[in-house]
Structure 1
Amino acid sequence: MTSALNGRRILVTGASGRIGLVAVQRLNELGALVTTLSNVEHPDLKADRVLIGDTRSEADVAQALEGAEFVVHLAALAHPSAGTPYDVYSINVVSTFNVLAQAGALGIKRAVVASSINASGLVFNPHDVHPAYYPLDERTPADIADPYSLSKQNDENTIRMAWRRWGIDVVAFRFPHTNSAEVLQQQAEHMRADPASGLREVWSNLDTRDAAYAIELGLTAPLTGAHVFFVAAGTTNAPYPTESLLDAFAPDVPRLRRFIGREVPIDLTAVRTVLGFQAQHELDLPTLEL
């Protein structure tokens, strides 16, 4: 069956990054004409147009958007320690605004943006914080105390503004730790030895191939508006029952429902029902007693 993206021009920013490389490969396989905009070259990056530039630059983004019908915006400093607090915050929010504002003004109808589980503020918070409840969902109150999480919160504000002003439909994904199958397996070994270390990210994970699939769905799903979705593998990266993990490390946090086996304590209902997303590459781990 022919993809709806076959022959369509798609701009991917941050294409030399971990998710970007796999997303570009998938879009190429679907027959899309991909323009990439990255701040560094990468030997594995193959696309119809490969540009090096800065997503904060109006001129660089304007050049990259030439002929584009869709946008995938992944460019960011993806960790609080990836630069100074000023750089992490300003680069991320200015880049997202610049890309969406120009795309919207050009009449581009659909964009996908990388938000993060860190929009909750929990993962890098310097305080001893817990969510209001499990499972996490898109309505869980945030507790922001670092520049990266703040930038992701404001990216989500930007997608709502862009839709309201220009009518560009935008899907933002709250990605968890996303990596190759090999790295996720190594992380699972760490979680086996130190399960407490996974609490703040609720032992969530996503294979980069599934991230690329989610991006495809975000570009093609029949929806309108500005949407934020948690997206993750349906099972955790720890070889223990989720109920046992929460009993041990977050016993005082209310649970809105019970969790079966290694079910990830994130509510994936929205991404599953609206986009039809289901992770295809989950970790095959034994279930051990904690």
Structure 2
Amino acid sequence: MSSSLSGRRVLVTGAAGRIGSATSRHLADLGALVTALTNVEDESLKADRVVVGDTRSEADVARALEDVDLVVHLAARPHPTAGTPYEVFSTNVVSTFNVLAQAGALGIGRAVVASSINAYGVPFNPHDILPAYFPLDEKIPTDVADWYSLSKQNDEHTARMAWRRWGIDVVAFRFPHVNSPDVLTKLSDGFREDPVGGVREGWSYLDTRDAARAIELGLTAEFSGAQAFFVAANTTNAPYATEDLLDAFAPNVPRLRRFTGREVPMDLTAARTVLGFQAQHELDLPTLRLES
């Protein structure tokens, strides 16, 4: 498969993770030379160079960045409960700063980092709140009350600082729940029985294959600056019409437009127009009547 990434060395941190392993495989299939930075041994990694180390370590990251042209930073503690509050926050923010600062100082021109839908704070918020409006977009007001969401918000600030300081372009993806088709199907089965749990994320999701494709475009699209992008499948992971879901579970939240069928209530315009990304793998769900 011909690609502008062919022959270019790409560092993927967190390469043994769910998105990292899919991304390493996808980039290698495109002809990229993949350096995998991982904190665990994994013989299945699709990479021609593997560095076992810690993204918080200056020495480990420096070693991983040798001869690298592009960076994909995915390493993180992915949930508020993935350690103590201190461990989650410090691991995420130090790792992102370390990777982007070193890459920027080396003159590397482009990095993609994993932010999260949680950067706007509402999904993990312990208070009884809903989004300020639908569709969710990159300008939505934030309300952060947990350390994981704070770390992702901080990662986006770090991206902007790195671009301003060193001129490294940074694409930050606000990923929703990303998983394999079978896991996503099980999640949708749960929302069939009780859909209220998905309202804060707009019932959004993304297949790991689409996440890897988004990262490819983040590395190759004509783009300058540091910007966060929401990415998701075009449809929701609940088998009900979006308007019916919002009527039932967010009746007082303003809607900036109407939604057709199971259309995800998230504005994906920026990712489509700037990066050319559109998800290709969607759940094949019926549109059922939502009983009140």
TM band (smaller chain): over 0.9
Measured after TM superposition, the shift of residue 227 of structure 1 is 1.1
Task: Tell me the distance in 2 between the aligned counterparts of 1:202 and 1:120.
Answer: 13
Give me the CA root mean square deviation.
0.7
Measured after TM superposition, the shift of residue 202 of structure 1 is 1.2
Secondary structure at the counterpart of residue 229 of structure 1: strand
- Give the aligned partner of residue 75 of structure 2: 75
Identical aligned residues as a percent = 74
- Give the aligned partner of residue 273 of structure 1: 273
Task: Tell me the distance in 2 between the aligned counterparts of 1:67 and 1:7.
Answer: 12
- Give the aligned partner of residue 283 of structure 1: 283
- Give the aligned partner of residue 99 of structure 2: 99
Task: Tell me the distance in 2 between the aligned counterparts of 1:42 and 1:128.
Answer: 41
Measured after TM superposition, the shift of residue 41 of structure 1 is 1.7
Measured after TM superposition, the shift of residue 197 of structure 1 is 1.3
- Give the aligned partner of residue 191 of structure 1: 191
Task: Tell me the distance in 2 between the aligned counterparts of 1:47 and 1:32.
Answer: 9
Q: How does 1:50-89 map to 2 (within 5 A)?
A: 50-89=50-89
- Give the aligned partner of residue 150 of structure 1: 150
Which range moves more in the overlay, 40-49 or 245-254? 40-49
Task: Tell me the distance in 1 between the aligned counterparts of 2:47 and 2:206.
Answer: 24
- Give the aligned partner of residue 14 of structure 1: 14
- Give the aligned partner of residue 166 of structure 1: 166
- Give the aligned partner of residue 230 of structure 1: 230
1:176 lines up with 2:145 in the alignment: no
Measured after TM superposition, the shift of residue 244 of structure 1 is 0.3
- Give the aligned partner of residue 33 of structure 1: 33
1:214-239: CA deviations, max 9, x gaps?
00000000110001100000100000
Task: Tell me the distance in 2 between the aligned counterparts of 1:88 and 1:247.
Answer: 35
- Give the aligned partner of residue 123 of structure 1: 123
Read off the aligned partner of 2:160 and give its amino acid letter: R
Alignment gaps of 5+ in structure 2: none
Task: Tell me the distance in 2 between the aligned counterparts of 1:206 and 1:140.
Answer: 20
Measured after TM superposition, the shift of residue 198 of structure 1 is 1.0
- Give the aligned partner of residue 206 of structure 2: 206
Read off the aligned partner of 2:49 and give its amino acid letter: R
- Give the aligned partner of residue 136 of structure 2: 136
Read off the aligned partner of 2:194 and give its amino acid letter: D
1:113-151: CA deviations, max 9, x gaps?
000000011111000111111000000011000000000
Read off the aligned partner of 2:183 and give its amino acid letter: V
Secondary structure at the counterpart of residue 200 of structure 2: coil
Measured after TM superposition, the shift of residue 257 of structure 1 is 0.1
Task: Tell me the distance in 2 between the aligned counterparts of 1:215 and 1:14.
Answer: 14
Task: Tell me the distance in 2 between the aligned counterparts of 1:200 and 1:257.
Answer: 17
Task: Tell me the distance in 2 between the aligned counterparts of 1:15 and 1:154.
Answer: 22
Give the 4+ runs in structure 1 shifted more than 4 A. none
Read off the aligned partner of 1:248 and give its amino acid letter: A
Read off the aligned partner of 1:127 and give its amino acid letter: H
Task: Tell me the distance in 1 between the aligned counterparts of 2:2 and 2:239.
Answer: 39
Q: How does 1:215-226 map to 2 (within 5 A)?
A: 215-226=215-226
Task: Tell me the distance in 2 between the aligned counterparts of 1:42 and 1:122.
Answer: 34
Secondary structure at the counterpart of residue 35 of structure 2: strand
Task: Tell me the distance in 2 between the aligned counterparts of 1:222 and 1:278.
Answer: 16
The alignment's TM-score, normalised by the length of structure 2, stands at 0.98
1:174-230: CA deviations, max 9, x gaps?
000000011101111111011111112210000000000000000000110001100
Task: Tell me the distance in 1 between the aligned counterparts of 2:186 and 2:45.
Answer: 25
Measured after TM superposition, the shift of residue 46 of structure 1 is 2.2
Secondary structure at the counterpart of residue 200 of structure 1: helix
Read off the aligned partner of 1:11 and give its amino acid letter: L
Read off the aligned partner of 2:260 and give its amino acid letter: I
